[in-house]
Amino acid sequence: MANWRRLLKTPDIEALRAVADGQAKLEACPLCKDKPDEYAVLEKDDEESEFRGHLQGTGYLKRCPASGAVYFQEHSYEYLAGGSEDEYRFERVTPERARQIVDEWAAELAASPGDKPKA
Ligand SMILES: [Zn+2]
How far apart are the C-alpha atoms of 49 and 53, rounded to whole Å?
Answer: 6
Higher confidence at residue 99 or residue 1? 99
Dist. CA 30 → ligand 1 center (Å) = 7
Which CATH code fits 13-111? 3.30.1370
Strand pairing category for 85-93 and 61-63:
unpaired
- Please state the rounded mean pLDDT for residues 56-71: 84
Dist. CA 23 → ligand 1 center (Å) = 13
Q: How does residue 2 score in pLDDT terms, banded at 50, 70 and 90?
A: very low
**Extents of the domains making up the chain:** 13-111
pLDDT digits (tens, 9 = 90+) for 6-41: 545 445 677 777 767 767 788 899 999 988 989 888
Q: How does residue 42 score in pLDDT terms, banded at 50, 70 and 90?
A: confident
Under DSSP, the state recorded for 81 is T
Q: Is the pLDDT of residue 1 over 50?
A: no
Q: Cβ(8)–Cβ(59) under 8 Å?
A: yes
